[in-house]
Amino acid sequence: MSKQIPAMSNIKGDFSAGLVVFLIAIPLCLGIALASGAPLFAGLIAGILGGIVVGSFSGSHLSVSGPAAGLITIVAAAILKLGTWETFLLAVFLAGAFQLMLGFVKAGVIANYFPSNVITGMLTAIGISIIITQIPHAVGHDEQAEGQLAFIQVSGENIISSALSSIRHIQLGAAIITAASIAILLYWSKIPKVGSIPAALVAVLSGVGINQLFIATGSGLALEQSHLVTLPVADSVNGFFSQFSMPDFSQLMNSQVWIVAATIAIVASIETLLNLEATDKLDPLKRYSDPNRELRAQGIANMASGLIGGLPITSVIVRSSANINAGGRTKVATIAHGTLLLVCAALIPMLLNMIPLSTLAGVLLVTGYKLCKPAVFKQMFAKGKYQWIPFVVTVLMIVFTNLLVGVAVGLCVSILFLLWGNMKTPYLFSKEHYRTGDMFVLELSQEVSFLNKANILLTLDKMPDNSTVIIDAAKTTYIDQDVLDIIREFTQIKAPQKQIKVVLRGFKEAYKINNTDHLFMNGEKESPVAVTHSQGTHKELLKELSVN
């Protein structure tokens, strides 16, 4: 059970956050569509549905969905392979159907097996990638489309060489707007009385105002349209609706369509689960999102996207982290951003086309820094080599390859460290026995790794209300940070909500968990039900707890 807040209790903050995410989403949606070789409007459709549809059906309070940079290569290749845009839309529709089924069969459980050092590494790497990829836009060298975070860009250039080459092509007007935007973002909240107005909105309006001033005065600092947001502009209502497309269902028996659909479903689902886990870690209220419900929401949105001409949709950490940084606390922010995309794309595209890409780069540079600031590296280093080395490997691999490859390598390194640790100190498991009672003892084994994370999480979640739980770590020599975080969350948040009394014993000082060994009820210690945690028997334990 996670801490909940009423959907309307933070309406001002959520709408402000939705506005910020909307402004950031415009160039990202268009850039990803351009890089994918798809119609520009297809990116906007994916952004709209990612906000409104996923936001409505998802259980996540803060995750924001839309077209994803991680699918650019797959989408570009699939469009060429299938021959027509309408055939590709059929593959998107079927991919959504696959995701919907994955949600119903509870495939989202794999999210419980992502170690925290890899997730933290992913967030840090994305922050670094955002900073590097936004440098060209910040100085007015807008040759690369927005939204590309992979090391090798679609043009063949890598993000580092692109950033370095942009220094030789600085557009002074863009650099001035970026600097002004960053200054506003950092200091606006400190100004009395007006500080409550969203800083990102002020930064964007200031960027527009500065450029319009340059234009009005005939200054050479004025930015051309190539340095501004470029939304498709329809000349009529019919022109607007003509930008939507329908899938070609006559290709339903084409085996290549099903292969592309399965590929999109698998990659999009993995990216979504990774981003969902990362977003939950950034949530100031420490809420938990149901991954199976998220897969179902993504499936519905992708089916809709395929039906009306949009790109594939996933949860996107860039927009999600921007949402959190801007003060979003409920799904109202996500839905608001999608609604704004729809309204503005239909009614006022010309006004949005006045926004400089450099002012949006300023917003993203600040967001990226918050994800990868030096304090994150210090915290991970302090946790020891079992956390530090997989974290660093994940960061480097994501920055120099892409998200999926980086996470896969980071996960492999975590497993190798686990196996190495097991060779030094093998697991010791005890036999399980039960008898009726209202006190439970969870005796941790000698080595507790992140692979035990899901079992321990499920076991603690099954503990009945008004019971007493003793967590005994006396025999342990190593407990993974993920498991320690689960125990802390259970003790401080979940147990009080269910009126569960928790006794902690045997925890070493290095674990940074305080022992509370002395439990007396009516002056005497009660005889507990002996429940020793062991790998491979947690299903029987959960069944027994469900019965009791």
Question: CB-side exposure of 443: number of CA atoms within 13 Å?
Answer: 14
Neighbours of 170 (CB within 10 A): 14
Element (H, E) at 440: strand 439-443
Biggest CA pair distance of the chain: 86
Mean pLDDT of 287-296: 94
Q: How many angstroms separate the first and last alpha carbons of the chain? A: 19
How does 198-224 read in b/e, with b if 16+ C-beta sit within 10 Å? bbbbbbbebbbebbeebeeeeeebbbe
pLDDT reading at 379 higher than 70: yes
Given 3-state DSSP classes, what are the helix, strand and coil percentages for the chain, each rounded to the nearest 5?
65, 5, 30
SS3 302: helix
* Model confidence pLDDT, tens digit, residues 401-421: 888 899 999 999 988 887 775
Would the CA dihedral through 341, 347, 353, 358 be positive or negative? Answer: negative
Long-range own/partner contacts, residues 9-15 (CB < 8 A, 24 or more apart): 9/330, 10/327, 10/329, 10/330, 10/332, 11/332, 13/327, 13/328, 13/329, 13/333, 14/327, 14/328, 14/329, 14/330, 14/332, 14/333, 14/336, 15/332, 15/333, 15/336
* Model confidence pLDDT, tens digit, residues 459-508: 888 888 888 888 888 888 888 888 899 999 999 999 998 888 888 988 98
User: What is the layout of strands, in order, in the sheet containing 468-472?
Assistant: 501-505, 468-472, 439-443, 529-532
92 against 463, higher pLDDT: 92
Mean pLDDT estimate for the chain: 86
Residue 153 phi, psi (nearest 5):
-80, 165
Tokens 């030096």 — which residue?
A: 374
Neighbours of 240 (CB within 10 A): 17
What pLDDT is attached to residue 523?
A: 43
Mean pLDDT of 161-184: 93
Structure tokens that stand for 493 in this block: 């948040």
* Model confidence pLDDT, tens digit, residues 174-195: 999 999 999 999 998 888 877 6
Tokens 């006396």 — which residue?
A: 474
Q: pLDDT > 70: what percent of the chain?
A: 88
pLDDT reading at 315 higher than 60: yes
Domain boundaries, the chain: 16-361, 439-547
Choose among 244, 485, 200: nearest CA to 370. Answer: 200
Interatomic CA distance for residues 221 and 65, integer angstroms = 36
The crossing angle, in degrees rounded to 10, of helices 385-400 and 116-138 is 40
Q: What is the DSSP letter of 226?
A: G
CATH of domain 439-547: 3.30.750
**Residue 531 near residue 441, CB atoms below 8 Å:** yes
pTM exceeding the 0.75 threshold for the entire prediction:
yes
**Residue 22 near residue 323, CB atoms below 8 Å:** no
pLDDT reading at 255 higher than 80: yes
Interatomic CA distance for residues 278 and 287, integer angstroms = 12
Q: How confident is the model at residue 544 (pLDDT cuts 50, 70, 90)?
A: low
Q: What is the DSSP letter of 356?
A: B
Element (H, E) at 479: strand 478-479
Q: How confident is the model at residue 307 (pLDDT cuts 50, 70, 90)?
A: very high
Q: How many residues does the chain have?
A: 548
Q: What is the DSSP letter of 158?
A: B
Q: How confident is the model at residue 433 (pLDDT cuts 50, 70, 90)?
A: very low
Q: How confident is the model at residue 286 (pLDDT cuts 50, 70, 90)?
A: confident
Tokens 């840090």 — which residue?
A: 124
What pLDDT is attached to residue 81?
A: 93
Query: Of 355-359, 435-439, 494-498, which gets the smallest average pLDDT?
Result: 435-439
Q: How confident is the model at residue 53 (pLDDT cuts 50, 70, 90)?
A: very high
Query: Of 16-20, 73-77, 440-444, 445-449, which gets the smallest average pLDDT?
Result: 445-449
Neighbours of 339 (CB within 10 A): 16
What pLDDT is attached to residue 514?
A: 87
Interatomic CA distance for residues 257 and 251, integer angstroms = 7
pLDDT reading at 537 higher than 50: no
Tokens 């259980």 — which residue?
A: 59
Element (H, E) at 256: helix 255-282
